Amino acid sequence: MADETQRPWWHDALIYQVYVRSFADANGDGIGDLDGIRSRLDHIASLGADAIWLNPCYPSPQRDHGYDVSNYFDIHDEYGTLDDFDALVSAADARGIKILMDLVPSHCSDEHRWFVAALAAAPGSPERARFYFRDGKGEHGEEPPNNWQAAFGGSAWTRINDDPNDGQWYLATFTPYQPDLDHTNPEVGQLFTEIFEFWFDRGVEGFRVDAVAGTGKHPDLPDQPPVGPDTGVLDITWQNPYSVFREEGHEAWRHFRASLDDYGQRHPDRELMMVAEAYAVRRPELIKKFTEPDQFDQMFSFDLMLTPWHKESIERAMQDPLEILESTGTPPAWTLNNHDIQRIVTRLGRSDADQPESWTNNNLALSGADADLALGERRSRAMAALIFALPGNLFLYQGEEFGLPEVLDIPADRREDPVFHRTDGAEIGRDGCRIPMPWTTDAATSYGFSTGRADGSVGEPWLPQPDGWGDRSLAALDDEAAPTLSLYRRLGDTRAKFAASQPMHATVFDGGPGVVAVRRGSLVVVVNPSAEAVELDLGRLGVSMDQVVLASEPLDAGSSTIPSDTTIWFVSSD
């Protein structure tokens, strides 16, 4: 039998997501930066991380906080320099931590030199052919070329001017300042080949590839068919059959794969990877398609991130990714939080969180129900203990180890997310999961977020931190041996000890009423998502209480019940 521990690092790695702007600010201007990350590497290492995924840190006007790239070959000046980046890569490497970058191929910034050149060039020019420029409809071209909507609100088309000799429109799936690139143009593919080469040469081991769903369009750009009456404004885009999950996109990914493999062949010592980001929830056929051998290594499984706290929903959320692993060998990429989603502590603390219908495919939809944060944090611990046992990569998002909740009461004039502004505040957007991290209890340094000025002063943090944020800081939680942080640390160790040697194979099975049960080799994990303690059916589970190696809450000695909202790991010695 093959040695199960000899697999590429990215089959079962722990990857810590750093939202650069909000992680740590080493020069005191209120904005996170690369040196700040370097100063906090010990914390990331203490969780057992194998790699860090950096949210985009390329030069950018920051209108979508780096997802609007104006130059793919440099570092954003607020975050540092290429030298700072190199220093981060080597400091991480010294701790055995790899760096993944975030690649944004679907669109660039309207300040990217290509787009600036396209505006200056004529209709039909090669400069415009890197984007989707089209003439408008109507007598004077005053109407958009079709009815497509932008993902963050408004039309997907923007007219560049009213010039009767030009007056073309360009397509932008997210916001007008993120024009879509046309990947059927070979120049676009060539650009990304060069981007790979540039960052791989700097020691980056792979990429999280952004927004793969909307890359590639029907060549004729036909009108989107009518959507159902209940479709939310931010969902319309994702139901457009002519712009979402298109075969044209897969052509682009095959080119990416070829570029990555070409680099890999010239550097056989490297194990490079790319993971695709798209909301393919409950659509396993899509994950299979994106992870065909000529495309991505893996694709996020967002099912568990969006599932309600409900037995059958949790089971269902694991089954598709595990089935894909079984049939194609593609390791799942599990995650419970990211920079686009309401934090799990708030989400699972909501009074409707246990209702199967509160499942949503919309990453931005927020339930308005009240949240019990202590309950949500307890459930988040149970969820973390579940995913740490599963085969595949784990993507943790900064602050989940502190049990940070979503910050909901940000004043409108401090909100930054284009989702909020483009919908006139109808959607509150994603700022609440991007609040600068609390490291200490010292309010005068934005809770340790900002450091580095000789006079000790600090700039205002780019998003306001709520009162009491220091109670959730690393320093405060360390002192109290807080349950969430200490569980995350134990999980890293327990995973290394008991899960890493298990096969890349797991099954969800019937472990008795009320509980979710998963078996992976000699590891059995049981979750009780119900509001009551449950007497475990040890015979059916095939375990005994002396095999417990971890529990997300304290257990009663001598009892064989699992408390509510708790996860237990059992490991048999055979």
H helices present in 40-185, as ranges? 41-46, 82-94, 113-120
Q: How far apart are CA 430 and CA 174, in angstroms?
A: 14
Q: 329: closest CA among 291, 301, 300?
A: 291
Q: Which of 210, 401, 406, 416 binds ligand GLC (CB under 6 A)?
A: 210
Least gap, CB of 340 to ligand GLC (angstroms): 5
Q: Copy the structure tokens of residue 308.
A: 């309600």
Binding mask 301-340 for ligand GLC (x = CB under 6 A): --------------------------------------xx
Q: Which is nearer to ligand GLC, 238 or 488 (CB)?
A: 238
Q: Copy the structure tokens of residue 383.
A: 């969820």
Name which of Ca ion, ligand GLC, none residue 340 binds, using a CB cut-off of 5 to 8 Å depending on partner kind: ligand GLC
Q: Judged by CB under 6 A, does residue 482 bind ligand GLC?
A: no
Q: Which of 12, 33, 354, 417 binds Ca ion (CB under 5 A)?
A: 33
Q: How far apart are CA 255 and CA 248, in angstroms?
A: 11
Least gap, CB of 234 to ligand GLC (angstroms): 11
- Asked if 18 contacts 47 with a C-beta cutoff of 8 angstroms, the reply is no
Least gap, CB of 476 to ligand GLC (angstroms): 29
Q: How far apart are CA 92 and CA 115, in angstroms?
A: 35
Name which of residues 137 to 196 contact ligand GLC (CB under 6 A): 174
- Asked if 217 contacts 248 with a C-beta cutoff of 8 angstroms, the reply is yes
Q: Judged by CB under 6 A, does residue 64 bind ligand GLC?
A: yes
Name which of Ca ion, ligand GLC, none residue 210 binds, using a CB cut-off of 5 to 8 Å depending on partner kind: ligand GLC
**Which residues share a beta bridge with 111?**
none
Least gap, CB of 410 to Ca ion (angstroms): 20
Q: How far apart are CA 272 and CA 484, in angstroms?
A: 32
**Which residues share a beta bridge with 548?**
570
For Ca ion, which stretch binds (CB under 5 A), given 19-27, 140-148, 362-370, 390-398? 19-27
Least gap, CB of 80 to ligand GLC (angstroms): 21
Q: What contacts 328, CB < 8 A, 6 or more positions away?
A: 288, 291
Q: Which of 18, 24, 25, 402 binds Ca ion (CB under 5 A)?
A: 25
Q: 112: closest CA among 63, 145, 45, 158?
A: 63
Q: Which of 20, 89, 209, 211 binds ligand GLC (CB under 6 A)?
A: 211
Enter the DSSP assignment of 404: P
- Asked if 136 contacts 143 with a C-beta cutoff of 8 angstroms, the reply is yes
Q: Which is nearer to ligand GLC, 103 or 477 (CB)?
A: 103
Q: 47: closest CA among 490, 387, 355, 556?
A: 490
Least gap, CB of 210 to ligand GLC (angstroms): 5
Phi, psi of 275 (to 5 degrees): -120, 130
Q: Copy the structure tokens of residue 370.
A: 């009240």
Q: Which of 29, 74, 197, 442 binds Ca ion (CB under 5 A)?
A: 29
Q: Judged by CB under 6 A, does residue 67 bind ligand GLC?
A: yes
Q: Copy the structure tokens of residue 298.
A: 């893996």
Binding mask 104-123 for ligand GLC (x = CB under 6 A): x-------------------
For Ca ion, which stretch binds (CB under 5 A), given 20-28, 316-324, 376-384, 542-550? 20-28
Q: 379: closest CA among 438, 442, 454, 313?
A: 313
| Closest-approach residue to ligand GLC (CB) | 67
Which pairing describes strands 157-159 and 206-209: parallel, antiparallel, or unpaired? Answer: unpaired
Size of the site for Ca ion (CB under 5 A): 5
Name which of Ca ion, ligand GLC, none residue 33 binds, using a CB cut-off of 5 to 8 Å depending on partner kind: Ca ion
Least gap, CB of 166 to Ca ion (angstroms): 41
Name which of ligand GLC, Ca ion, none residue 25 binds, using a CB cut-off of 5 to 8 Å depending on partner kind: Ca ion
Least gap, CB of 83 to Ca ion (angstroms): 16
Binding mask 339-358 for ligand GLC (x = CB under 6 A): xx------------------
Least gap, CB of 194 to Ca ion (angstroms): 29
- Asked if 435 contacts 469 with a C-beta cutoff of 8 angstroms, the reply is yes
Residue 572, Ramachandran bin (φ over 0: left; ψ between -120 and 50: alpha; else beta): beta
Q: How far apart are CA 68 and CA 66, in angstroms?
A: 5
- The 10 Å Cβ neighbour count of residue 241 is 11
- Asked if 194 contacts 260 with a C-beta cutoff of 8 angstroms, the reply is no
Name which of Ca ion, ligand GLC, none residue 319 binds, using a CB cut-off of 5 to 8 Å depending on partner kind: none
- Asked if 4 contacts 503 with a C-beta cutoff of 8 angstroms, the reply is yes
Q: Which is nearer to ligand GLC, 105 or 392 (CB)?
A: 105
Least gap, CB of 84 to Ca ion (angstroms): 11
- Asked if 289 contacts 280 with a C-beta cutoff of 8 angstroms, the reply is no
Q: Which is nearer to ligand GLC, 25 or 64 (CB)?
A: 64
Name which of Ca ion, ligand GLC, none residue 27 binds, using a CB cut-off of 5 to 8 Å depending on partner kind: Ca ion
Q: Which is nearer to ligand GLC, 108 or 204 (CB)?
A: 108
Q: Which is nearer to Ca ion, 294 or 460 (CB)?
A: 460
Q: Which residues lie near ligand GLC (CB under 6 A)?
A: 64, 67, 104, 174, 210-211, 339-340
Q: Which residues lie near Ca ion (CB under 5 A)?
A: 25, 27, 29, 31, 33
